[in-house]
Amino acid sequence: MADPRDEAATSGEPLLEFREVMRRLRAECPWKAEQTHRSLVRYLLEETHETVEAIESGDAVHLREELGDLLLQVYFHAAVAEQDGGFTIDDVARDITAKMIRRNPHVFGDAASGTPSEINDAWQAIKAAEKDRSDVTEGLPASLPALLYADKVLDRLARAGRPAVPAGEGIGERLLALVAEAHADGIDPEQALRDAVRRLV
Protein backbone atom coordinates (compact mmCIF):
# COMPACT_ATOMS: atom_id res chain seq x y z
CA MET A 1 0.00 0.00 0.00
CA ALA A 2 1.29 3.44 -0.90
CA ASP A 3 2.52 5.62 1.94
CA PRO A 4 0.01 8.48 2.42
CA ARG A 5 2.92 10.86 2.86
CA ASP A 6 4.03 10.12 -0.71
CA GLU A 7 0.51 10.68 -2.02
CA ALA A 8 0.30 14.00 -0.16
CA ALA A 9 3.39 15.24 -1.95
CA THR A 10 1.48 15.27 -5.26
CA SER A 11 -1.63 17.07 -4.01
CA GLY A 12 -2.71 19.68 -1.51
CA GLU A 13 -2.26 22.81 -3.63
CA PRO A 14 -5.21 24.61 -1.98
CA LEU A 15 -3.69 23.97 1.43
CA LEU A 16 -0.32 25.26 0.27
CA GLU A 17 -2.02 28.37 -1.12
CA PHE A 18 -3.84 28.89 2.16
CA ARG A 19 -0.56 28.58 4.06
CA GLU A 20 0.88 31.42 1.97
CA VAL A 21 -2.28 33.50 2.47
CA MET A 22 -1.96 33.12 6.25
CA ARG A 23 1.73 33.97 6.19
CA ARG A 24 1.01 37.15 4.25
CA LEU A 25 -1.90 38.11 6.51
CA ARG A 26 0.25 37.55 9.56
CA ALA A 27 2.95 39.81 8.09
CA GLU A 28 0.81 42.57 6.53
CA CYS A 29 -2.47 42.78 8.50
CA PRO A 30 -1.97 44.86 11.71
CA TRP A 31 -4.73 43.04 13.61
CA LYS A 32 -3.50 39.57 12.69
CA ALA A 33 0.10 40.56 13.34
CA GLU A 34 -0.60 41.39 16.99
CA GLN A 35 -2.48 38.18 17.81
CA THR A 36 -0.98 35.51 20.09
CA HIS A 37 -1.90 31.92 20.86
CA ARG A 38 -3.69 33.14 23.99
CA SER A 39 -5.62 35.92 22.26
CA LEU A 40 -6.85 33.44 19.66
CA VAL A 41 -8.26 30.96 22.18
CA ARG A 42 -11.71 32.57 22.20
CA TYR A 43 -11.96 32.29 18.41
CA LEU A 44 -10.87 28.66 18.43
CA LEU A 45 -13.57 27.87 20.98
CA GLU A 46 -16.18 29.84 19.06
CA GLU A 47 -15.39 28.16 15.75
CA THR A 48 -15.37 24.73 17.38
CA HIS A 49 -18.85 25.29 18.78
CA GLU A 50 -20.08 26.63 15.44
CA THR A 51 -18.72 23.51 13.72
CA VAL A 52 -20.60 21.31 16.19
CA GLU A 53 -23.75 23.33 15.47
CA ALA A 54 -23.27 22.81 11.73
CA ILE A 55 -22.82 19.06 12.20
CA GLU A 56 -25.98 18.80 14.28
CA SER A 57 -27.94 20.88 11.76
CA GLY A 58 -27.23 18.32 9.03
CA ASP A 59 -26.50 21.18 6.60
CA ALA A 60 -23.52 20.13 4.48
CA VAL A 61 -22.97 23.61 3.04
CA HIS A 62 -22.90 25.11 6.52
CA LEU A 63 -20.52 22.39 7.71
CA ARG A 64 -18.16 23.03 4.80
CA GLU A 65 -18.00 26.71 5.73
CA GLU A 66 -17.46 26.06 9.43
CA LEU A 67 -14.74 23.48 8.77
CA GLY A 68 -12.98 26.19 6.77
CA ASP A 69 -13.25 28.59 9.70
CA LEU A 70 -11.90 25.89 12.01
CA LEU A 71 -9.04 25.20 9.59
CA LEU A 72 -8.29 28.92 9.65
CA GLN A 73 -7.66 28.69 13.39
CA VAL A 74 -5.20 25.82 12.93
CA TYR A 75 -3.29 27.67 10.24
CA PHE A 76 -3.41 30.91 12.22
CA HIS A 77 -1.80 29.28 15.28
CA ALA A 78 0.81 27.65 13.06
CA ALA A 79 1.59 31.02 11.42
CA VAL A 80 2.06 32.59 14.87
CA ALA A 81 4.35 29.75 15.93
CA GLU A 82 6.36 29.93 12.71
CA GLN A 83 6.91 33.67 13.07
CA ASP A 84 8.02 33.10 16.68
CA GLY A 85 10.61 30.59 15.50
CA GLY A 86 8.71 27.56 16.74
CA PHE A 87 6.95 25.07 14.49
CA THR A 88 5.26 25.33 11.10
CA ILE A 89 2.02 23.98 9.66
CA ASP A 90 4.15 21.38 7.87
CA ASP A 91 5.43 20.22 11.28
CA VAL A 92 1.84 19.96 12.52
CA ALA A 93 0.81 17.91 9.48
CA ARG A 94 3.92 15.74 9.68
CA ASP A 95 3.31 14.96 13.35
CA ILE A 96 -0.37 14.05 12.94
CA THR A 97 0.39 11.91 9.87
CA ALA A 98 3.00 9.95 11.82
CA LYS A 99 0.57 9.57 14.73
CA MET A 100 -2.20 8.23 12.49
CA ILE A 101 0.14 5.68 10.91
CA ARG A 102 1.49 4.64 14.30
CA ARG A 103 -1.92 4.26 15.92
CA ASN A 104 -3.53 2.38 13.03
CA PRO A 105 -1.32 -0.70 12.62
CA HIS A 106 -4.30 -2.62 11.22
CA VAL A 107 -4.13 -0.33 8.17
CA PHE A 108 -0.46 0.68 7.91
CA GLY A 109 1.23 -2.23 9.71
CA ASP A 110 1.00 -5.96 10.24
CA ALA A 111 -1.72 -6.00 12.89
CA ALA A 112 -4.92 -7.84 12.08
CA SER A 113 -8.06 -5.82 11.63
CA GLY A 114 -11.09 -6.31 13.84
CA THR A 115 -14.39 -4.84 14.90
CA PRO A 116 -14.68 -1.08 15.44
CA SER A 117 -14.66 -1.73 19.20
CA GLU A 118 -11.50 -3.84 19.00
CA ILE A 119 -9.81 -1.23 16.83
CA ASN A 120 -10.70 1.49 19.34
CA ASP A 121 -9.34 -0.65 22.19
CA ALA A 122 -6.07 -1.08 20.28
CA TRP A 123 -5.91 2.68 19.62
CA GLN A 124 -6.40 3.42 23.32
CA ALA A 125 -3.73 0.88 24.30
CA ILE A 126 -1.20 2.41 21.89
CA LYS A 127 -2.07 5.91 23.11
CA ALA A 128 -1.73 4.90 26.77
CA ALA A 129 1.68 3.34 26.08
CA GLU A 130 2.84 6.50 24.31
CA LYS A 131 1.68 8.76 27.14
CA ASP A 132 2.82 6.43 29.97
CA ARG A 133 0.08 7.81 32.21
CA SER A 134 0.21 7.16 35.93
CA ASP A 135 -3.01 9.09 36.64
CA VAL A 136 -6.32 8.38 34.92
CA THR A 137 -7.04 12.10 34.64
CA GLU A 138 -3.64 12.98 33.14
CA GLY A 139 -4.05 14.74 29.81
CA LEU A 140 -7.77 15.36 30.27
CA PRO A 141 -8.44 19.10 30.06
CA ALA A 142 -10.33 20.39 33.07
CA SER A 143 -12.33 22.61 30.70
CA LEU A 144 -14.06 19.64 29.05
CA PRO A 145 -17.85 19.64 29.44
CA ALA A 146 -18.69 17.79 32.66
CA LEU A 147 -20.54 14.90 30.99
CA LEU A 148 -17.72 14.31 28.51
CA TYR A 149 -15.11 14.57 31.28
CA ALA A 150 -17.00 12.05 33.43
CA ASP A 151 -17.37 9.64 30.51
CA LYS A 152 -13.65 9.77 29.74
CA VAL A 153 -12.68 9.24 33.38
CA LEU A 154 -15.01 6.24 33.65
CA ASP A 155 -13.55 4.83 30.42
CA ARG A 156 -9.99 5.19 31.68
CA LEU A 157 -10.85 3.64 35.05
CA ALA A 158 -12.40 0.66 33.26
CA ARG A 159 -9.35 0.26 31.02
CA ALA A 160 -7.13 0.37 34.09
CA GLY A 161 -9.16 -2.42 35.67
CA ARG A 162 -10.78 -0.07 38.15
CA PRO A 163 -14.45 -0.02 37.19
CA ALA A 164 -16.21 2.75 39.09
CA VAL A 165 -19.64 2.24 40.57
CA PRO A 166 -20.98 5.68 41.54
CA ALA A 167 -22.60 5.64 44.96
CA GLY A 168 -24.54 8.27 46.85
CA GLU A 169 -27.79 10.18 46.73
CA GLY A 170 -26.43 13.59 45.76
CA ILE A 171 -27.28 15.06 42.37
CA GLY A 172 -23.65 14.71 41.28
CA GLU A 173 -23.55 11.03 42.14
CA ARG A 174 -26.85 10.43 40.36
CA LEU A 175 -25.61 12.24 37.27
CA LEU A 176 -22.40 10.22 37.36
CA ALA A 177 -24.43 7.03 37.63
CA LEU A 178 -26.36 8.04 34.48
CA VAL A 179 -23.05 8.68 32.68
CA ALA A 180 -21.87 5.23 33.77
CA GLU A 181 -25.11 3.74 32.43
CA ALA A 182 -24.66 5.53 29.11
CA HIS A 183 -21.03 4.42 28.92
CA ALA A 184 -22.01 0.80 29.54
CA ASP A 185 -24.56 1.06 26.73
CA GLY A 186 -22.07 2.65 24.31
CA ILE A 187 -23.92 5.97 24.31
CA ASP A 188 -22.20 9.36 24.29
CA PRO A 189 -23.91 11.11 27.24
CA GLU A 190 -22.90 14.58 26.07
CA GLN A 191 -24.46 14.06 22.64
CA ALA A 192 -27.50 12.34 24.12
CA LEU A 193 -28.22 15.33 26.34
CA ARG A 194 -27.65 17.78 23.49
CA ASP A 195 -30.08 15.83 21.32
CA ALA A 196 -32.65 15.73 24.12
CA VAL A 197 -32.44 19.49 24.61
CA ARG A 198 -32.82 20.03 20.86
CA ARG A 199 -35.97 17.89 20.88
CA LEU A 200 -37.26 19.89 23.82
CA VAL A 201 -36.92 23.25 22.11
Q: What is the pLDDT of residues 79-99, one digit of tens each?
A: 999 999 999 999 999 999 999
Same domain flag for 19 and 83: yes
Which domain, by its residues, includes 75?
A: 4-87
| Domains held by the chain: number | 2
Same domain flag for 81 and 20: yes
Distance CA 41, CA 43 (A): 5
Nearest to 93 by CA among 73, 109, 74, 108: 74
Tens of pLDDT, residue by residue over 104-115, are: 999 999 888 889
Same domain flag for 8 and 74: yes
Q: Is the pLDDT of residue 28 over 60?
A: yes
Residue 162 lies in a domain: yes
Distance CA 155, CA 178 (A): 14
Instruction: Write down the mean pLDDT value for the chain.
Output: 88
Distance CA 66, CA 63 (A): 5
Q: What angle do CA 142, 145, 151 make, to 5 degrees?
A: 90
Looking at residue 161, its pLDDT comes to: 81
Residue 122 lies in a domain: no
Q: Is the pLDDT of residue 5 over 60?
A: no
Tens of pLDDT, residue by residue over 129-158, are: 887 666 777 888 878 888 889 998 888 888
Looking at residue 8, its pLDDT comes to: 46
Distance CA 148, CA 193 (A): 11
Give, as one character, the DSSP assignment of residue 144: S
Residue 188 lies in a domain: yes
Residue 118 lies in a domain: no
Looking at residue 141, its pLDDT comes to: 87
Identity of the amino acid at 82 = E
Tens of pLDDT, residue by residue over 165-189, are: 777 889 999 999 999 999 889 899 9
Residue 115 lies in a domain: no
Residue 104 lies in a domain: no
pLDDT band at 2, cuts 50/70/90?
low
Q: Look up the CATH number of the domain holding residue 44.
A: 1.10.287.1080
